């Protein structure tokens, strides 16, 4: 990788200029990281090439598979169901050469996020009251294990204890502060995307995805932001999902997006980071390499959003995130691994 002080071909300096109004704070904080980053950079030419390719083709529509997996029950149950979904939405990977947690529902087998959505939809179909905040607050381990039960011969979902804690917290906060209904959280945020993400971060500790970079807080808020996007998508933008201001959200920094962006040449890792990622070596949560990967992911998507706008294509960062994530579910030839970090935040 070139010297960080002579970054010809890479985004640098003024390229990391957040919008004048950055209420969420993610772009401003991650811009500071990217101006000092030494391990993960963004290739200008690759951003422009991807933007030109996407601008020259029809934008793909939402996948029917995801819609079929989102079955919260009655419409009024959807907000609480989505809160639970994203309280549990993190870290699905297992051993590099081992089988992954997987779930079969209605004749189709899923892993990763899709398996989580299938598990919760299956539980609703089986009559479990997932949208009852009081029930959720007292959820016990055997019941959650039954909800998330894998196919025979496959491992259980990783970080089970952390998921149980998150589920109980979601129910407890709703029961004690919001009359049992997540729609009341949405109303408190005045149906504004940024206000809702920040409210979720403040009220639900498991969503408070804020790292520390050289003494500065760096919010990523991956699950708080994706909760806003999922609520809007799963409700069809109706009722509790009639949320405004989606353009203020950033990319949802996880492990699949940087893998895909790296495969596309948009993200470039320094040799020392590439060796760590490609050898499946664990990267500690909150470490400088992990923060740089996530910050670069946020700004790669923001750079792509701006490049598309120059082509006359107006898309939000969350829409770009969705497309990259969907495409990441299909492996590219010679695709390298995603980084391994055990965390509840993604």
Which tokens sit at 78? 């959807």
- How far is Cα 256 from Cα 81, in angstroms, rounded to an integer? 24
Residue 230 · residue 86 · CB < 8 Å: yes
Among 342, 341, 333, 335, CA closest to 259 = 335
The angle, 0 to 180 degrees and rounded to 10, between the axes of the packed helices 222-234 and 193-203 is 130
Supply the residues annotated as catalytic.
254
Neighbours of 265 (CB within 10 A): 13
Burial of 120 (0-12, 13-18, 19+ CB in 10 A): buried
Degrees, nearest 5: CA angle 267-270-274: 80
SS3 category, 127: coil
Residue 193 · residue 240 · CB < 8 Å: no
SS3 category, 171: helix
Residue 156 · residue 145 · CB < 8 Å: yes
At a CB cut-off of 8 Å and minimum separation 6, what does 135 contact? 129, 171
């Amino acid at each position: 990788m070139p010297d960080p002080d002579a970054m010809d071909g890479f985004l640098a300096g003024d390229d990391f200029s957040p919008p004048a109004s950055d209420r969420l704070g993610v772009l401003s904080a991650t811009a500071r990281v990217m101006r000092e980053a030494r391990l993960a950079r963004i290739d200008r030419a690759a951003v422009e090439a991807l933007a030109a390719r996407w601008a020259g083709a029809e934008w793909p529509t939402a996948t029917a598979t995801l819609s079929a997996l989102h079955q919260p029950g009655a419409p009024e149950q959807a907000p609480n169901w989505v809160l639970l979904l994203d309280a549990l939405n993190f870290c699905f990977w297992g051993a590099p050469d081992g089988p992954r947690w997987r779930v079969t529902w209605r004749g189709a087998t899923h892993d990763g996020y899709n398996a989580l959505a299938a598990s919760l939809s299956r539980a609703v179909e089986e009559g479990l009251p997932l949208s009852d905040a009081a029930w959720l607050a007292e959820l016990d381990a055997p019941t959650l294990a039954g909800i998330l039960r894998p196919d025979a011969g496959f491992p259980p979902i990783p970080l089970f204890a952390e998921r149980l804690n998150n589920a109980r917290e979601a129910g407890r906060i709703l029961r004690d502060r919001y009359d049992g209904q997540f729609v009341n959280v949405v109303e408190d945020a005045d149906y504004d995307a940024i206000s809702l993400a920040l409210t979720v971060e403040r009220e639900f500790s498991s969503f408070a995805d804020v790292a520390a970079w050289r003494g500065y807080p760096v919010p990523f808020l991956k699950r708080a932001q994706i909760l806003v996007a999922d609520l809007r998508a799963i409700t069809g933008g109706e009722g509790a999902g009639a949320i405004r201001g989606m353009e203020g959200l950033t990319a949802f920094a996880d492990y699949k997006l940087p893998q895909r962006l790296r495969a596309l040449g948009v993200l470039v890792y320094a040799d020392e980071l590439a060796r760590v990622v490609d050898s499946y070596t664990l990267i500690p949560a909150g470490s400088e390499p992990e923060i740089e990967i996530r910050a670069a992911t946020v700004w790669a998507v923001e750079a792509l959003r701006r490049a598309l706008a120059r082509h006359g294509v107006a898309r939000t960062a969350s829409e770009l995130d969705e497309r990259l994530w969907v495409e990441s579910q299909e492996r590219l030839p010679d695709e390298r691994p995603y980084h391994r970090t055990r965390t509840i935040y993604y």
